[in-house]
Every structure is written in C-alpha cells, then in structure tokens.
Amino acid sequence: MPYDVTAFGEEHALPAPHDRFLDRELSWLAFNQRVLETAADAEIPLLERVSFLSIFASNLDEFFMVRVAGLKRRISTGLAVPSITGAQPRAVMRSISKHARMLVRRHAELLRDVLRPQLEEEGIYLVGIDALTRAERRRVDEFFFTDVFPVLTPLAVDPAHPFPYVSGLSLNLGILLRHPRTGVEHFARVKVPPVLPRFFNVTEPGGADDPRPIGPDSPGRFVAIEHIIAAHLGSLFEGMEVVSSSCFRVTRNEDLEVEEDDAENLLKALEKELLRRRFGPAVRLEVTEDMDPRARELLVRELGMDESEIYELPEPLDLRGLSALSAIPREDLHFPRAVPVMNRDLAAEESSDQPDAFKAMREREILLHHPYESFSTSVQAFIEQAAADPDVLAIKQTLYRTSGDSPIVDALIEAAEAGKQVLAVVEIKARFDEENNITWARKLERAGVHVVYGIVGLKTHAKLCLVVRHERGRLARYAHVGTGNYHPKTARLYEDLGLLTADPVLTQDVTKLFNQLSGYAPRTEYSRLLVAPNHVREGLLSHIGEATRRAQRGERARIRIKVNSIVDEKLIDALYLASRAGVQVQLFVRGICAIRPGIAGLSENIEVRSILGRYLEHSRAFVFEHGEDLAHAEALIGSSDLMHRNLDRRVEALVRLERPEHIAKVREMFDLAFSDGTAHFWLEPGGQWARRTHDAEGAPLRDYQDTLVRAHGRRGGLPA
C-alpha cells in the first residue's frame, strides 16, 4: 500500500511510521547472506568460492562478538530501547537468531553438498582419519607426536579441577572419559592451539604449506587438525577410556568499553580493557551434531548459556579455517591475476626508476583508485620519499589500521630518526586491531615520533597525511586524503579512492585538522573539507536539500552515494524528501542499508545496489548532479559512512574534488555500477536482496570489478 504523503511533515522532518526504515541488524545479516550467495555462484572460480565461505564465517563471528553481544548486554541491564523500526529488543534478538540459524545451516550445507564434491573433482580432498591409507596414517601419527602433542594441554573437570576458561572463538574438543576401574565418567577439554595449521596435508611430502601445485595429477588430501587430535586422545589420557569426543566453540562479548575521560593514560586503560575482553560473557555456543547430550548439558550449564544461544552444526566447525584451502596455489581455480598499474599522472620519466611524487603533485592533483592503481607506487612511495628527502621538515599522519611490518610505519620511524618532526595520530581503539596498534604505537614513540590518540571521546577515522617541505626558500605542503587505511596488504584487496594534492587551500585544511587532532581547535572552519562530527551530516544534508529544491523548481537532479553502510535517520529522511520531489537517488551500498527503496509516495525514485567480488568495495563517494543532461556535478570522497558512529562519534573527513576529470571518473564508477548491463544485487522494498547476473536472454552480465581492471589497463597505466 503506498505511503500517504500527507502523513509526513514538511521540509526537514518525517515523523513515524517507523516502517520506513529497515532493521540494522537484519540488514547486516542480509549483507552476509549476499556473501553466501556469492560463494554459491558456480561461475566464480572454485577456490574463490571457498574464500567467500571463510569470509562469511569471519563476518558472522564479528557480528556476534559486537552486535549481538551489545544487544544482549543492553537487554540484561534494562537499557535496550526499540530499534528504529519500532521493534522491541527481544523481538530483534529472536529475529537475529532465526535468520542466523538459517544462514549457518546453508553455509555448512554449501560446503558439504556443493563445494566439497567440486573440490574433490579438482584433486583437493577433505578427509577423515578413517579414509587415510596406511602411509598417510603414518604421516599423521608422525605429525601429531612431533608437532601437535607437545603443545596440547588437556584440562580435566572434577572437584580438584574447576571447569576451565574457554577463550572466545577457540576451537575445542569436549571429551567424555571413563575410568576403567571405577566406571566413573569425567569431562575434559582440549583446546586446538591456533598456532597449528587448520588442515594438514597428508600427501607426500606432507605439510599444510606444501608449495607444489595441487591437482588431479598431484592430489592434496587434507585432514582437519581437530580430527587428528581426536584420533590420538588415548595418548593424552593414558589409562582412560574415551567414551566420546566432539567439537565446540564459544563466542564471547569482545566489544571494548574505555572511558577516556576517566583514563589518565588511554594506552594503559586500553591494555586493561583488552585483558578484560578475554573474559567477556559467552553469547553463542557452537556444537557439532554428534555431541554427547551429557557433554552438551555440562557446557550449557558451565557457560551459563540459554538454549536459544546454541547452534548445532555439522562438522567441521570454524569455517574461517577454509582460508588455508582457498590459498592453495592453483591459478586455474582463482580469479585471473590482476596486476595493479601505476597511476599515469605519477608515471616515472624514462630515466628514473621511481616517480618524483612531489613534482607530479605540483603539476596537478592526482586521483587514485586502489587496488586497480598501485598503492605501493603512489601513497606508500609518497610517504617513503618524504621520509628520505632531506628537504622535508615534517610529516603528519593518521593511522587507523595498518600492519606491524608496514613500510608506512617504517618510513615514519626513519623520518623521526633523521630529525624530522613526525606526528602520528594513532587510533588504538580500531576494533580488533587494538593490540597490534598498541605495539606499533609504542614502537613509534621509542623512535621519537610524536604519538597522540586524537580527541577525547572520538575515534579518529579520517585518512590523512601531510608533508611539509622546504622549497626555494619557502615552505610547501603536500597531502593525501583518502577513503582507506594506510595498510599495504589490504590495499591490494580493498577498493578505495585517494587524492594526492599540493593545493594550498586543501593542504591548509589538512594542517588545521591535524592541529585540531593534536591540540585544541574546536571552532576550526574548512574550505574543501567536510569534517565530522560537526560538519559531515550538515554538509550532506545541505547538498541533498539543494537537489530537492532544484527538483521542486522543475530542474533535473540526481544524487549518487557510495558507502559501506547507511543507517542515519536524518539523512535517510532527507533522501526520502528528495525522492518525493523527483530527485533520482542511486545508492551503492556494500553492507547495511536501512532505507526502503521503491515505495510509492516515499521512495519510488530511490534505487539501491550492492556489488561483491574479488575486491571489497570500501570507498565512500558522494556525487550531486543537476541541470540539463545532469551536466553540472559536484563530488566528494572520504572516510565517512552514513552511520551515527561516523557522523557523531568519529573524526571523519570528506574532500571536495576540483578537477573535472576526477569528477568524471567518479561519475563513471556510478554509471558502470547502475548500468543494466552490470551484474549486481538490488534491494527490494521489503528489505530482501535479489541478484541479477544474466540478461533476459540468459547471457552473463559484465562484472563491475573486472571491467575496471581492464579499463585501468587500457588507460595507459604501467604495471607496478
């Protein structure tokens, strides 16, 4: 039934009905369902499908550790409030449980019934102990006693041994033992050490890291590590009879709570909280279908679990471990290799081995598109060149997530040791990277880098680098503003945009923002940047409002937004108002989307698409077009998603693009994504996602990311 437009307020407010929003948690589960559907796609290379199964498992773990744990905590403390859909917290929890159970069952069945047989056709076998030949069993025995047995710690449960602590996401064997003389039964737990390979290749010469190509002529037969341990329990519990053994896994609340205002030293406070995280309450118990009822009952009692929190699944548990199989070096079972090219504006002169980043940036602003364009020859090279250049006086850098062996961190240390002023704004509260970030934050401090942790109460999520250089008797500034983390490894897998600039207006903005992050400057005004928490929502609302007014005057207007997630009610309502005024709205959303498209009288001009592929769509881009043939356009890129946390509780930065060719490049991304000839998922009014991969005649539609790989290769970029 169409919405009655008279039920809504005027210019800036849309009161209830609540059902104009989709539930955030169920929308996230719908995103992971899209990951699962991608794993089921028979046209995707086999080992990439296995990888998507692993990604699904990892995603779901984080969902339970953070979202479900947080909701459960709020319910138990009486602080939970209805969702934006009006649903009561306990009803949301029941819906989560229902949908999650359906998904994990499909996940397990997809491996068992579809992918496993296809892997076997390619000579890759997941086998049990009973299927091993005598020679393979000898290799397993040797591996167990040499590499596994010494690191195992069997833990008994009896009056002298209390029920052991079970760490979150660890894989465990729950074992029932019987004393042969007394007949008394005991429970024991053996943790599968994470230092061991998840699967052991029993094929000669053996080892999970065997570099030989694996195929029909050189088969690979893999045994799950938990099966190897289970087959040797007699060696762990000598003299006892093993009645049963089965796997289980616990998910705990692992979200962090750090009150910065009360912490004299944020680093120390976070270290204490990380220690507490290990002992967070259990929120999910996964058990195998064959678990002995007595062992299951003991686990439920000791862990304080409710039946609704127990997930009974076929073996193997913890399918994150499939990433080990997906890495098997069979090129024919992976996506065709895509080599990043060097951005043509950075291309080195023939006489030079490496581009002069400063020279290129003085000539023009440079828009980067990773991983199609190389991170190492652009952003990384810019920072490394700045660290080595004797004319560079200062480097300022935000770091949200990076690797411990990052060349970015090494360059900052090199610069500090060379006497340059180096500032690193480190976000040590980046979820699940906290321990790594603490480690290299201390490493930076020891090298003489000025390390700060941003603004109290806010996470620093903006992606910024500023270089100050002495040139011809004056100071010149260069900057990078991006959508992705300064992480060389994920830069090869995450799709992101970035801008290299020497524009005095923008570098002045970046300078002001760093001063705000390291000092006190709450009233800072910017020219080309929109900075959260004060200006991103307001700036985007202003752009949406302008498009709405143009449409009301009879002009053609279009809004195009690419984000990871959209949840913010004010922005959603503004887009509804724009749609009602006749603005065409295209939303390119990877994950959560709380907007309902295609509803008469409310959102019939809103279209939402999602694309999953070899790369994780991570960039954020905003384009506002108007006029005849939509000839006029303004575009922004940056770090902010359209969620409360980004707009209200984080330091985020969006930068306005100036060069027409850069705006055109971002518009081309949307043209391709929303073309009828491009494969995609689309969001239906009821919140369900549908997938379109073939046209009406059954011909396959083009792949968005493969098209961009080819396009960057044709544009004259050099292999990096």
Active site residues: 461
254/282 Cα distance (integer angstroms): 9
CA distances from 246 to 9, 144, 151 (A): 58, 18, 20
Angle, in degrees to the nearest 10, between helices 407-417 and 434-446: 20
Distance CA 327, CA 209 (A): 10
d(CA 344, CA 718) in angstroms, rounded, equals: 7
Instruction: Please give the Cα distance from 469 to 586 (Å, whole number).
Output: 41
Residue written as token pair 């081309």: 668
- What is the C-alpha separation between 73 and 283, in angstroms, rounded? 10
Q: Which residues pair with 625 in a beta bridge?
A: 558, 633
519: left (phi over 0), alpha (psi -120 to 50) or beta: beta
Amino acid at 683: L
Beta strands in 96-152 (DSSP E): 124-126
Collapse the DSSP code of 634 into the 3-class scheme (helix H, G, I; strand E, B; otherwise coil) and give the result.
Answer: strand
Taking phi over 0 as left and psi of -120 to 50 as alpha, with beta for the rest, 50 belongs to alpha
Q: Where are the beta strands (DSSP E) in 564-657?
A: 584-589, 606-610, 616-617, 620-626, 632-638, 650-656
DSSP state of 550: H
Helix/strand/coil (H, E, C) string of 650-713? EEEEEEECCCHHHHHHHHHHHHHHCCCCECEEEECCCCCEEEECECCCCCECECHHHHHHHHHH
What's the full length of the chain, in residues?
720
**CA neighbours within 13 Å on the CB side: how many for 385?**
23
* Helix, coil or strand: residue 24: helix
Tell which phi-psi region holds residue 206, choosing left (phi > 0), alpha (psi between -120 and 50) or beta: left
Both ends of the chain: CA-CA distance in Å?
55
Which SS3 state, helix, strand or coil, does residue 17 take? Answer: coil
> Is residue 540 within 8 Å of residue 623, measured between CB atoms?
no
The interaxial angle of helices 536-552 and 569-581, nearest 10 deg, is 10
Please give the C-alpha separations between residue 687 and each of 33, 41, 277, 308, 627, in angstroms, as whole numbers.
12, 22, 34, 25, 32
Per the CB < 8 A criterion, the answer to whether 605 and 585 are in contact is yes
CB atoms within 10 A of CB 513: 26
Structural element, H or E, at residue 577: helix 569-581
Q: Are strands 220-224 and 124-126 parallel, antiparallel or unpaired?
A: parallel
What's the token pair of residue 341?
């090219």
β strands within 275-326, DSSP E: 282-288, 310-313
The rounded Cα 446 to chain-centroid distance in angstroms is: 30
Task: Report whether 200 contacts 222 (CB < 8 A).
Answer: yes
CB contact set of 374 (below 8 Å; sequence gap of 6+)? 340, 341, 342, 343, 720
